[in-house]
Copies of this chain bind each other. A is one copy, B any other.
Amino acid sequence: MDEVDIEIVAEPALDAPVLIEGLPGVGHVGKLAVEHLLEEFDSELVRRVYSEHFPPQVSVGDTGLAELVCAELHAVETEGADLLVLTGDFQAQSNEGHYRLTNAFLDVAEEFGVERVFALGGVPTGELVEEYTVLGAATTETFVEELTETGVEFRADEPAGGIVGTSGLLLGLGARRGFEAACLMGETSGYLVDPKSAWAVLGVLQEYLDFEVEFGALEERADEMEDVVGKIQEMEQEQQPPVPTDEDLRYIG
């Protein structure tokens, strides 16, 4: 096995597809958003990307079958645009790994004729969010303008710490390789898995790429989370506020 090993699963012909990335991150916003796309649309798995930069791990599925951790790229055809959807359970585990895996993802994108890239994620506000603004960053001024018209907010020097991980590098390395890329970051508390924030991000994508997606399933998850938030708020009033750990979030999510 090479350092990064791309398995070709299918080779559908796509029409200048848009790469949509949603790997785990703040509030699981990006991952929730792309999972929702893959549930609502017909999709075809086209690539698996294995790498020693992922954890040395297999996941075990419903029937006891073990599968090596990987990232996956799925082809989705919508009425508005063809999509190449990137998701998975892990980010790279080192700086070098992030650079090398992102370049591998962009190699696949290039093969499929991708010109535009959307990295989806969340941006933590530190408090429960009432209105779900989508913060943006992009690699060209035109892209900034177009997204501003769709309601995305661009704020000088925000997020303050920049954008890290695969999302950041899809913009940084993507721009250097000639892709036009944007990051859509749904505001989210940062404490909880946040389907509403994913919904807001998908709303932008839907308008910009001119497709329509049902939000029912996401709405249900959002309602479940509201119940959780409600209970937490009750508990806060009664006693010391509990601090949800990463572990809690995993199960809640």
> Which A residues are within 8 Å of any B CB, using their own CB?
1, 3, 50, 52-69, 92-96, 98-100, 102-103, 136-141, 144, 154-159, 162-166, 168-169, 171-173, 175-176, 181, 183
Give the chain B neighbours of A56 by CB distance below 8 A. Answer: 92, 95, 98-99, 102, 164-166, 168-169
Copies in the complex: 4
User: How distant is the Cα of A157 from the Cα of B157 in the complex, in angstroms?
Assistant: 42
| Pairs across A and B, CB under 8 Å, 21 listed | A50-B176, A53-B95, A58-B162, A58-B168, A58-B169, A58-B172, A60-B159, A61-B156, A61-B157, A62-B157, A63-B144, A63-B154, A64-B138, A64-B154, A65-B140, A65-B141, A65-B144, A66-B139, A66-B183, A68-B169, A68-B172
User: Which among A56, A68, A159, A163 has the highest number of chain B CB atoms within 10 Å?
Assistant: A56
| Contact across chains for A60 and B95 when beta carbons are under 8 A apart | no
Give the chain B neighbours of A64 by CB distance below 8 A. Answer: 136-138, 144, 154-156
| Contact across chains for A57 and B162 when beta carbons are under 8 A apart | yes
Known interface pairs A1-B99, A63-B154, A64-B156; 16 further A-B residue pairs with C-beta atoms within 8 A, sorted by A's residue number: A1-B103, A50-B176, A52-B99, A56-B164, A58-B162, A60-B137, A61-B156, A63-B144, A64-B137, A65-B138, A65-B139, A66-B138, A66-B162, A66-B181, A66-B183, A93-B95
